[in-house]
Amino acid sequence: MQLTAAVSFLTILQEESVSIHTYAHSFLQVILLHLEHRDAGVSNAWLETLLSVIEVLPKETLRHEILNPLVSKAQLSQTVQSRLVSCKILGKLTNKFDAHTIKREVLPLVKSLCQDVEYEVRSCMCRQLENIAQGIG
């Protein structure tokens, strides 16, 4: 059911069935809630939906609803899964913000994740460095 819901949320976005404002208000919190589902397949489906949603959300929504909470989700005290998801989201967010915002708000998280104790997290964050470098210019 979770996989079907994730696909349905993505379809609603792609078909522009509702406005972006309505979509963010009605669906974004549900998507964010399910990112840490215990089933990796379900979690990945919701992550893919979120990564698509990031492309169309306004900057302020991205900052308040995704980037600000990401600061706590990327901490070493969080699960490896949470930190891996944070890496992928950070890589996607960088093309939505200006270089100054990336340097001020995103790079400290990137640096922390590149120095994570888990090789999986370090590797995942390193795979996003090209996107982050492009965002900085």
Quote the pTM value. Answer: 0.88
Instruction: Tally Cβ neighbours within 10 Å of residue 70.
Output: 21
Domain ranges of the chain: 1-57, 59-136
Please check whether residue 100 is in contact with residue 61, taking contact to mean a CB–CB distance below 8 angstroms: no
- Give residue-wise pLDDT tens across range 92-108: 999 899 999 999 999 99
Across the range 121-129, mean pLDDT stands at 97
Query: Is pLDDT larger for residue 87 or for residue 9?
Result: 87
Contacts of 22 (CB under 8 A, 6+ apart): none
Please check whether residue 48 is in contact with residue 92, taking contact to mean a CB–CB distance below 8 angstroms: no
**Which is nearest to 115 in space by CA: 83, 88, 69, 90?**
83
Average model confidence (pLDDT) for the chain? 91
pLDDT band at 137 (very low <50, low <70, confident <90, very high): confident
Instruction: Count CA atoms within 13 Å of residue 17 on its CB side.
Output: 11
Please check whether residue 91 is in contact with residue 132, taking contact to mean a CB–CB distance below 8 angstroms: yes
